[in-house]
């Protein structure tokens, strides 16, 4: 089949992820640390020792009790921002330690 117009790599990539949702999920899960830093900024990200996604639960370890409390209060909003950034629902809840 011959195509009439060229297709960008971005369009091909989006089409590939749409046809292979498990691949898209794995890519998003692998990008969780980057998404976290983009959402909370470099200050809070520097106080976050570990960011792990296990079974849809984002486990965070932070060094500051103040940051821990702020994240706990905003966890639903942060969860929604993470899922929006990933373009698929990968985070069901956030646990802060």
pLDDT digits (tens, 9 = 90+) for 33-78: 999 999 999 999 999 999 999 999 999 999 999 999 999 999 999 9
Say how far apart CA 44 and CA 42 lie, in whole Å.
Answer: 6
Say how far apart CA 86 and CA 29 lie, in whole Å.
Answer: 8
The third-level CATH classification (topology) of the domain covering 9-96 is GMP Synthetase; Chain A, domain 3 (3.30.300)
Give percent of the chain with pLDDT exceeding 90: 70
* 87 pLDDT more than 60: yes
Say how far apart CA 18 and CA 76 lie, in whole Å.
Answer: 26
**In the chain, where the domains are located:** 9-96
Hey, what are 40's tokens? 């909370």
- Residue 62, strand partner residues: 48
With contact defined as beta carbons under 8 Å apart, do 16 and 25 qualify? no
Q: How confident is the model at residue 17 (pLDDT cuts 50, 70, 90)?
A: confident
**pTM of the prediction?**
0.82
């Amino acid at each position: 089949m011959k195509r009439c117009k060229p297709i960008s790599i971005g369009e091909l990539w989006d089409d590939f992820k749409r046809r292979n949702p498990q691949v898209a999920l794995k890519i998003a899960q692998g990008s969780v640390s980057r998404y976290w830093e983009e959402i909370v900024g470099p200050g809070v990200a520097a106080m976050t020792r570990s960011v792990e996604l296990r079974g849809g639960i984002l486990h965070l370890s932070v060094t500051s009790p103040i940051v821990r409390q702020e994240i706990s209060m905003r966890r639903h909003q942060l969860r929604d921002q993470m899922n929006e950034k990933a373009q698929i629902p990968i985070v069901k809840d956030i646990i802060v330690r």
